[in-house]
Amino acid sequence: MLIIYEGFIKGAHAADGGNSTMSILTFRKTDFIPDNAAQQKIVIAVDGPAASGKGTLAKKMAERLGYAHLDSGALYRAVAMTALEIGADCNLFSDVEPALKIVLRNLTPELLSCPDLRTPEVSEAASKVSAIPQVRDALLKHQRDFAHNLPAYVGGVVIDGRDIGTVVCPDADIKFFVTASVEERARRRYLELQSEKKEASFVKVLEDLKARDHRDTTRKVAPLVAAEDAYILDTTTLSPSQTLDETISVIRSRFLSDSAEYPAKASQKAV
Ligand code: C5P
């Protein structure tokens, strides 16, 4: 049996005094949540490389299901942006530590949705600070606290990042690994920058993405890799709405039966 929820309002999360990124207060009509959702919160992990569309997908999925959403990349970006502001070397924990402390004291929805987090400089710096084990440890705690302290009226949470299905929530109910060819990801990022009237060269965007992929997949701690039980979604030829529909149909088949389709598409392929 399925439960239909209605209503969708943005707001702050009360579990940590309103200091987190939780953005769901009530639910929006359209989809379903299994009827045990009130007792057992559903955790959906969405991992994938930079510019794969996982962030947009996770946000839309959360809206559609009436779940909370956490963009874990924004946490690393916030540390990186603050580190740049104080002139830190983003490869050194001793330099980045003060920025980490500032961010952990100030994890507001405003900070995590700040457009300045999305500049190419912050993207590159985020990929560097995220390779520092102490930074990962501190942010891991925040992510788990978020996932385990959902308000009673929220049926679950969608968290997107690089290591959600492998490290942050290895017991997630459903794991997606969203990917696309690096050229297609660069094309999307390039068009995005153009639409924001930002100067960009396609070749530079492609090079930056390759460098970030390399750093994310080869770092010692929590490298970007698909969980063994993840559903691999290659979005190279899919539009955002087709991608969302595909994930919703996977979620449906997952909850409605032990469909052979899930996780039949999973493989070890990372990027
Ligand atoms: O997802 P997004 O591109 O916003 O993430 C910014 C950076 O943060 C990534 O390049 C990645 O290095 C890092 N990150 C991470 N683990 C996560 C989320 C993001 O290492 N769970």
Domain ranges of the chain: 2-73+154-256
224-257 tens-digit pLDDT? 999 999 999 999 999 999 999 999 999 988 876 5
pTM of the model: 0.81
Look at 35 and 203; give whichever has higher pLDDT. 203
pLDDT of residue 39: 60
Q: What is the pLDDT of residue 164?
A: 97
Q: What is the pLDDT of residues 127-181, one digit of tens each?
A: 999 999 999 999 999 999 999 999 888 989 999 999 999 999 999 999 999 999 9
For the CA of 131, the closest atom of ligand 1 is: 20
Residue 259 has a pLDDT of 46
User: Are the C-beta atoms of 70 and 21 separated by less than 8 Å?
Assistant: yes
Read off the pLDDT of residues 132-145 as tens digits, 9 standing for 90 and up.
Answer: 999 999 999 999 99
The third-level CATH classification (topology) of the domain covering 2-73+154-256 is Rossmann fold (3.40.50)
Using CB distances shorter than 6 Å, the residues near ligand 1 are 50, 72-73, 76-77, 126-127, 130, 161-164, 212, 216
pLDDT for residue 9 is more than 50: no
Q: What is the mean pLDDT of residues 198-206?
A: 91
Q: Ligand 1 mean position to 227 CA, how many Å? A: 16
- CA of 224 relative to ligand 1 center, distance in Å: 9
CA–centroid distance, residue 54 to ligand 1 (Å): 11
Q: Residues of 236-257 as b/e, b for ≥16 C-beta within 10 angstroms?
A: eebeeeebbebbbebbeebbee
Q: Whose CA is nearest to atom 20 of ligand 1?
A: 130
Confidence of residue 197 (pLDDT cuts 50, 70, 90): confident
Distance, CA of 248 to CA of 32 (rounded, Å): 10
Identify which of 47, 76, 113 to mutate to test ligand 1's pocket (most ligand atoms within 8 A of the CB): 76
| Nearest residue (CA) to ligand 1, atom 5 | 73
pLDDT (0 to 100) of residue 28:
41
Please tell me whether the peptide bond between 240 and the residue prior to it is cis, using omega within 30 degrees of 0.
no
Nearest Cα residue to atom 19 of ligand 1: 73
Closest residue by CA, ligand 1 atom 14 = 73
Q: Are 46 and 176 in contact (CB under 8 A)?
A: yes
| Ligand 1 mutation target, pool 127, 167, 179, most atoms within 8 A of CB | 127
Quick one: 127 exposed, middle or buried, by C-beta within 10 A (0-12, 13-18, 19+)?
A: buried
For residue 158, the one-letter residue type is: V
The pLDDT score that the predictor gives to residue 8 is 30
Four-CA torsion 21, 27, 29, 33, nearest 10 degrees: 90
Cβ atoms within 10 Å of 86's Cβ, excluding its own? 11
Residues 156/42, Cβ–Cβ less than 8 Å: yes
What's the 36 CA to ligand 1 centre distance in angstroms?
32
